[in-house]
Amino acid sequence: MGELKDENGIKLPASTLIKTNMLPSLEGMTWEQIPKEPLQIDFRRTKIEVKIIKNTSHQNAKFEVFQRLNYSSVLSGQEFRNAVLIMLYKKLYEWLEVQAENDVFNECLDLTDRWKDEQYHYELVLRLYIFSLFAEKPIYKVDDFINDNFLYNEDNSLIHKIQRGEFNVDAEKEKFFKTFKLLHKA
């Protein structure tokens, strides 16, 4: 818009726009060249919401912002969970990835390319742990249970169990590999 000033208080030149898929006619235009009605007026009246998430912010704040930003994105449930896991607790994602990408495990499955693209094999690993850790609770909708109880619940999530030392990731990974090695051999 030509209103931005540098550190010395001197106005910087207005930005020159580039075309987009939706607005190719903006190519090379500056603020002054954009039609006042309706574009300049609409732009001035539009509010831009800014959220600042710091390293010290609560992990649920990061999750909430991610959910809001990706509300309209078409992600599979597991693609969404993987992104959130990377933000909340990357070590858990890496632990999950090692198991889900294991060749022996994948040879035991008969996944379509679409399921692989949607990272369904990651979800299957999570389901294995869900049913072993939460067998006493009735699980009606697996997707909701994974999100609400298993990963993000404040008190009883897998993340909190790991942090409190109630879930040994190395021992569980070893059991996983042994199990699928036997299944593959059979």
Q: Note if the pTM is more than 0.95.
A: no
Q: What is the pLDDT of residue 167?
A: 83
Give residue limits of the domains in the chain: 1-48, 59-185
Question: Quick check: 71 pLDDT over 60?
Answer: no
Q: Look over the chain and give the mean of its residue pLDDT values, rounded to a whole number.
A: 80
Residue 11 phi, psi dihedral angles, 5° rounding: -65, 135
Residue 94 phi, psi dihedral angles, 5° rounding: -65, -40
Q: Amino acid identity, residue 140? A: Y
Question: Quick check: 73 pLDDT over 60?
Answer: no
Question: Quick check: 172 pLDDT over 70?
Answer: yes
Residue 134 neighbours by CB under 8 Å, 6+ apart: 145, 149, 150
Confidence of residue 178 (pLDDT cuts 50, 70, 90): very high
pLDDT in tens, 24-46: 888 898 888 888 888 888 888 88
Number of residues assigned to the chain:
186
Confidence of residue 70 (pLDDT cuts 50, 70, 90): low
| Higher-confidence position of 158 and 154 | 158
Nearest to 143 by CA among 74, 77, 67, 60: 77
